[in-house]
Amino acid sequence: MELSVLLFLAVLTGFLLLLTRGHPKATGHLPPGPRPLPFLGNLLQMDRRGLHRSFLRFQEKYGDVFTVYLGPRPVVVLCGTDSIREALLDQSENFSGRAPIATFDQTFQGYGVAFANGERWKELRRFSLTTMRDFGMGKRSIEERIQEEARCLVEELRKSQGALLDPTFFFHAITANIICAIIFGERFAYKDPEFLRLLHLFNQSFALVSSFSSQVFELYSSLLKHFPGTHRKVHKNLQEVNDFIGHTVEKHRETLDPNAPRDLIDTYLLRMDKEKSNPDSEFHHRNLILTGLSLFFGGTETTSTTIRYGFLIFLKYPQVAEKVYKEINQVIGPHRPPALDDRAKMPYTDAVIQEIQRFSDLLPFSLPRMVTKDTHFRGYFFPKGTEVYPILSSALHDPRYFEKPDDFYPEHFLDANGALKKNEAFFPFSLGKRNCLGEGIARMELFLFFTTILQHFSVASPVAPEDIDLTPRECGVGKLPPVYKLRFLTR
Ligand code: HEM
Ligand SMILES: *[C@@H]1O[C@H](CO)[C@@H](O)[C@H](O)[C@H]1NC(C)=O
Ligand SMILES: *[C@@H]1O[C@H](CO)[C@@H](O)[C@H](O)[C@H]1NC(C)=O
């Protein structure tokens, strides 16, 4: 009800503006797209099912590059493999800006590595990458940490004795623990109430950010932000996570040893002290909290949602899971833990994991970009600051690159001899200077978690495979699988 009232208000405002002004004028020379109304933008041409469907529909009509008005503001949309590669790779620098996501904006406000721009982003990105590498390569490598976490999970799943369960929090917990070890220097027990609370906040926030009402908010946030709604709930949730990070930072401060930084927080605090006399330093408290949040949230929700979709796919296609298990058995056997070196000998498993990422299509529009400079692209002109949405989903489903774009088909990544085949349209972590910062870690996690779980368990569902529905529950910023339950049966 609240939403419809607000929409009505929006429509009313739109018509009032229509009477007083002409059509919205874009500066520069943006690609053609559906004709917008003042304030309302392209609302009336949108598909009711949301932004994703709307973009696909516009692509059919206007081609791979078009402009859409999300409410009052123009956004350049890039569809298809070629246009995205041309922008994000060939003009990596010009396209390296980040535009806000309305539902997150109250929380981040341009701070922290994921939503910063300019010098701030460069400093935080460099810092995050080096620090993550250092804390992965010390005494215990990230590989070992993931193996250890996978071992803990296997133990926990064994305790379930084949009971029917929702795996969401288990998958959240293992991915969160990898990133927690890097940021906070510790992992949490799966039953730790504070940890479960954080996982709950992430799970709920990601679903809310991806919901239909957040898509409406993306269009009319300048008006709707004054009213209660999803965005407030998300902000409240993430503030609670920030409070947790803040307390942890205080504890680190009290026990900080300048000669022995324990984790990312310690390293940051030392850097902060070093730059204390520089008033322009980006290493201040706010950037610490929001970089912590970017990594914690970004590192937990993404990989775990992919694993969750993966197991639903295994329930739907048990023969695929069995074939992966066969390969595990051949290459690794039942006794030793899977290691990253095994991947090169396991093309089928590798292809299945890539196909899970392609099919599950976690961030269909990637994260919004923005051009950092005046930019020429395919005969158009984008003034500095123009927002750009690279629709990764349209590359991952590009019929020019994938034989059966809408089916789950691991053979997309295999050649006739069963060897792994590269595909230019496969970039679920996006491309260029501003691509996913956690790609390396995520790929290690996906391989080690999937193989270790399948090494020890087969999975079963009370629902017959043909009745399992893979249709996403939410599809906005994120694409989420439906809620489901399964059994882990010891091999
Ligand atoms: C399957 C897992 C994952 C997927 C599919 C994924 C995907 C993405 C995508 C599409 C972007 C947008 C990049 C762009 O604008 O071009 C992104 C950004 C980002 N991701 Fe990931 N990600 C995953 C896992 C992770 C992990 C494990 C971490 C942390 C360790 C992480 C941290 C980040 C950060 C910090 C950014 C923002 C980077 C920046 O703005 O410079 N992600 N991710
Ligand atoms: C995750 O969030 C969704 C949406 O709020 C909810 O339906 C689901 O039950 C949650 N999962 C868990 C394990 O709490
Ligand atoms: C990228 O930005 C620079 C401005 O520094 C500009 O000179 C250049 O033309 C841009 N690239 C394109 C292809 O527009």
Which pLDDT tens digits describe the chain residue by residue (491 residues)? 355 555 555 555 555 454 444 444 557 899 999 999 999 999 999 999 999 999 999 999 999 999 999 999 999 999 999 999 999 999 999 999 999 999 999 999 999 999 999 999 999 999 999 999 887 655 568 999 999 999 999 999 999 999 999 999 999 999 999 999 999 999 999 999 999 999 999 999 999 999 999 999 999 999 999 999 999 999 999 999 999 999 999 999 999 999 999 999 999 999 999 999 999 999 999 999 999 999 999 999 999 999 999 999 999 999 999 999 999 999 999 999 999 999 999 999 999 999 999 999 999 999 999 999 999 999 999 999 999 999 999 999 999 999 999 999 999 999 999 999 999 999 999 999 999 999 999 999 999 999 999 999 999 999 999 999 999 999 999 999 999 999 999 99
Q: Is the CB of 473 under 6 A from ligand 3?
A: no
Rounded Cα distance between 319 and 165, Å, is 22
The structure tokens listed for 376 are 């020429």
- 54 CB within 6 A, ligand 1: no
- Asked if residues 34 and 45 have their Cβ atoms less than 8 Å apart, the reply is yes
Contact between 390 and 365 under an 8 Å Cβ cutoff? The reply is yes
pTM of the model: 0.94
Q: Give the ranges where 317-427 is alpha helix by DSSP (H).
A: 318-331, 347-360, 392-396
Cα separation, 372 vs 486, in Å, equals 47
* Residues framing ligand 2 (Cβ under 6 A): 166, 168-169, 200, 203-204, 207, 483
**Residue entry with tokens 């020019």:** 400
Burial string for 23-37 (b: 16+ CB within 10 Å, else e) reads: ebebebebbebbebb
Report which bound ligand comes closest to the CA of 208: 2
Rounded to the nearest whole angstrom, what is the distance from the C-alpha of residue 436 to the centroid of ligand 3?
23
* Cα separation values, 110 from 68, 105, 113, 291, 294, Å: 23, 8, 9, 11, 12
55 vs 79: CA distance, rounded Å: 9
Short-list 242, 248, 299, CA closest to 269: 248
Residue 258 DSSP one-character state: T
- For residue 379, the one-letter residue type is G
Mutation test of ligand 3: which of 376, 384, 386, 388 has the most ligand atoms closer than 8 Å to its C-beta? 376
Centre of ligand 2 to C-alpha 203, Å, is: 6
Distance 374 CA to ligand 3 centre (A): 6
Residue nearest to atom 5 of ligand 3 (CA): 373
- Give the pair of three-digit tokens for residue 456: 């020890």
